[in-house]
Every structure is written in structure tokens, then in C-alpha cells.
Amino acid sequence: MNKGKLIVISGFSGAGKGTVVKGLVEKYGYSLSVSATTRAPREGEVDGREYYFKTEKDFRSLIDYNGFIEWAQYVDNFYGTPRKFVEDELEAGRDVILEIEVQGAMKVKKQYPDAVLIFICTKDAETLSERLHKRGTETEENIKKRIARAAEESESISEYEYVVINDELDKCIDTVNSIIISKHCRLEERIAFADEMVAGLKELL
């Protein structure tokens, strides 16, 4: 059986990548990795669903036990991808989505060279700022930090294989799904299939 693929989805805070990821899970059944974070839960967030909410001490001990595939600091908090879930899902042949920021994505790319890296963008900078303000979950100071971080992250877009603009949500979800499907159809993924086909055809002669 083929192993699953790691799908890394990054994008500026406010680009709507969380909603895109939710759509991919609901509409196409992808497996989603739940990260650990030291950030406080936002209203409506549930431990174990949006994140595993950890103290800094617990987070650091998970780092020490090699419990993360990658971890990074983002604005004032730590975020990390728990190793076990991802490894088990890939082994079982399921594609796993990681919704993570750029530093973490680069670490994943090194460890899993065939991971699919996708960057989600708004159509322009003004739209990003508008969305962050409308969300109403962050302070003005935090929004400024997130925009500064977006400016930094924009320099790493060239490290990604695909850039998808999230202007219309449904279209964006379908585009990302098509990218993943096309990855699975690449020849290197289909070698065993091609060999079997050749053998099967020869038997027919």
C-alpha cells in the first residue's frame, strides 16, 4: 500500500487558511493534525479539537521527548506538530494536512522531501489587513505583530511549490484538492501500477 502524503498548508494569518483546511477535511475527508500550542484558547476553541493547549513547561518537555515533527515560535507563543499521529496516519496510507507557519514548514520539507507545500494568500495586502480587523479576536497590537510576521513570511513564498489565492472559498478548497490529487497521479507514485499493467498486458498475449 502507498503511504499517505504530508500536505503542508501555510499562509498569512487572516488569509483564511483555517477555513480552507476545514473545508478540505469536511468535503474531501483529509486527516488533520491537531497541533500543540502555548497560546491561550480563543472563544469557542476546544482543547484537543483546534489545538492541544499546553503550558510552556509541558510544551518544552514534549520537545525534549522528541514528541514533535517540528515546532516554532510564532509571535508570542510556541506551536508544534505532534509526531505520533502524523506518522501513524501516513503509515496507514492517509494524507495528513498540517496547517503550520513558514519556519515549521521548512523543517517539514527537510524531513519529508515529498511533502506537498501549499501557500494560501489573500488577493492583496489590504484584504489581509481587513480580514484581521474583522475577525475581532486579536488586539490591535497583536494584529500589527501578525502583519509584521506576514511581511517576513512573504519572503519565503518561493520555498513553496504552490501558491493559491483564497478569493472564493469553495474554489480555493477545490483547487487545493486538485493539487493533492495531481501529486498522487505523478509517475513516481504510479511505478508499481505501471509495472503491474505491463505484466497484465503481457499475460494477455
Closer CB to ligand 5GP, 5 or 146, in the complex? 146
Helices then strands (H, E): number in the chain? 8, 9
Cβ at position 104, least distance to ligand 5GP in Å: 2
- Nearest residue to ligand 5GP, scored by beta-carbon proximity: 104
Q: How far apart are CA 70 and CA 149, in angstroms?
A: 19
Beta-carbon count within 10 A of 148 CB: 11
Which of 30, 74, 112, 160: binder of ligand 5GP (CB under 6 A)? 74
Cβ at position 154, least distance to ligand 5GP in Å: 13
Q: Does 122 bind ligand 5GP (CB under 6 A)?
A: no
What single-letter amino acid sits at 73?
Q
The three cell numbers locating residue 191: 511505478
Q: Does 13 bind ligand 5GP (CB under 6 A)?
A: yes
What is the number of residues in the chain?
Answer: 205
Which of 101, 121, 173, 176: binder of ligand 5GP (CB under 6 A)? 101
Which of 7, 86, 104, 166: binder of ligand 5GP (CB under 6 A)? 104
Interface stretch with ligand 5GP, choices 54-62, 70-78, 163-171, 189-197 (CB under 6 A)? 70-78
Q: Does 100 bind ligand 5GP (CB under 6 A)?
A: yes
Q: In what order do the strands lie in the sheet with 51-53?
A: 51-53, 35-37, 77-82, 68-74
Q: Does 166 bind ligand 5GP (CB under 6 A)?
A: no
Closer CB to ligand 5GP, 136 or 200, in the complex? 136
Q: Does 81 bind ligand 5GP (CB under 6 A)?
A: yes
DSSP string covering 17-79: HHHHHHHHHHHH--EEPPEEESSPPPTT--BTTTEEE--HHHHHHHHHTT-EEEEEEETTEEE
Q: Does 39 bind ligand 5GP (CB under 6 A)?
A: yes
Q: How far is CA 179 from CA 55, 116, 120, 162, 173, in A?
A: 37, 9, 13, 8, 10
With CA atoms as reference, report the closest residue to 166 among 27, 4, 22, 45.
22
Which residues contribute to the site for ligand 5GP (CB under 6 A)? 13, 35, 39, 70, 72, 74, 79-81, 99-101, 103-104
